[in-house]
Amino acid sequence: MKNKRKNPSLSSVVGIIMCIIFIPVIIINLILIVSSYTNPEEIPGVFGVKPAVVLSGSMEPTIQAGDLIFIRKTDPNKLQKDDVICYLSSGKAITHRIADITTGEDGRLQFITRGDANNAEDQLPVTADQVQGIWKGGRIGGLGNFILFMQSTTGMILFIVCPLLLFFLWDIWHRRRLDKAENARTKELEAELNALRAGKEKPDIET
């Protein structure tokens, strides 16, 4: 019997690609969704990096409306003038530049902020507990609108439910295909074994 060399099948390659693409997307989405419900006072993030969608053009041309930017956790006491920070105001994430740093009447640190495209400073100072992180330049132009869609009900169905469903369906199909191949190989081996036995049991013909 000849040993057949097994090469990676197309289905195996497809399965690996699906795992590489879908599993990280599903995990990140689930982390962001769970974090947004368990800690609504903070922008959800992964490994200290918080994605934030820019909804206005107040920071143009540095940051455009619809961009996806990446905010990193920071110690508010280490922030300096001209740093770009993301903070929450009435539940809304705002990304502006620090124009000045002061202290309030209670002695607490306060940041005076302003958008690069604005001609006036923001009316209310930002307190340290409002600061979500610092922006150091990481952004993907136009991806913010896609992220907003992904967080909607339709987006969650398309990017969480559908990938899971596709993965399970592929896994079922792949297992059945392997079972059929294994059964066919078993029958082939049994046929070869029976042929060998039949050859041995056949009596020699005298000449």
Tens of pLDDT, residue by residue over 14-67, are: 667 766 766 666 666 666 666 566 666 677 777 788 888 898 999 999 999 989
C-alpha 92/C-alpha 43 separation (Å) is 10
Is the model's pLDDT at 188 over the cut of 50? yes
Is the model's pLDDT at 71 over the cut of 70? yes
Tell me, yes or no, if the pTM score tops 0.75. no
